[in-house]
Amino acid sequence: MPTAARRSDKRERAAHGTTSDQTSYNMIVIGIIGPPAGGKSTVARALAEQGAAWINADRLAHAALRMGRVKNKLREHFGDSIFNTAGAVQRPALAAKVFGDDPTSRRQLEYIESVLHPVVGQLAARKLQRLAAQQQSVVVIDAPLLIEANWHFQCDEIWYVDSPWEQRIQWIAKRSWTPEQLRQREARQLSLAEKRRYATRILDNSQGPPHTRRQILALWRQLTK
């Protein structure tokens, strides 16, 4: 969908109350999508270096996991096994509950998402409101499940970061993921073909950082000129 049409669509939904916790903002909002371990945060960071405000869903999820109401729900469901002695959620222990292809793992993931997604969405909406009040001109939303969580309704632009499988396999070694874990993460998201359908721009992230950065800077100049 063209950028002008997206802005009009945002205003129309806000005017008719068809979004929850969503408002039309007088700023450019860019959503970053793509495959897991594909370089989305690298693109968001490059935009932040140019002056965009960066909303990082992983950081918001970390904040949500520190909230008492979230911890209480997780404790009721999983017990004490996912908490350390200080009462903080141990993310590796939580991740271990959902990494698997079996029905139990899928149900556990659905439960965690049902607890976290609404809270993270509220935190993101509040941050957007604060940025709008501060007259921020460009915001980038870096969220692995941007489409699935319906955050794309807030975006004027959606950039798809296109990264080949072989390259992503190299990157996951730095995160201590296995290829199988990468496949599982990808299988639990929209297909790459479906994600590309939402994109207004496609960044080729297969030729190294300088090539990717040149594309980002060219798009930035188009947006801010």
> Which positions make up the binding site for ATP?
37-42
Per-residue exposure over 105-127, b if at least 16 CB sit within 10 Å of its own CB, e if not: beebbebbbebbbebbbebbbeb
Distances (CA, A) of 129 to 11, 62, 93: 15, 20, 34
Q: Long-range contacts made by residues 125-130, C-beta under 8 angstroms, separation at least 24?
A: 125/21, 125/22, 125/23, 127/55, 127/60, 128/23, 128/25, 128/29, 128/55, 128/154, 129/23
> What is the spatial distance between Cα 148 and Cα 151, in angstroms, rounded to a whole number?
8
Burial class of 60 by CB neighbour count within 10 A (0 to 12, 13 to 18, 19+): buried
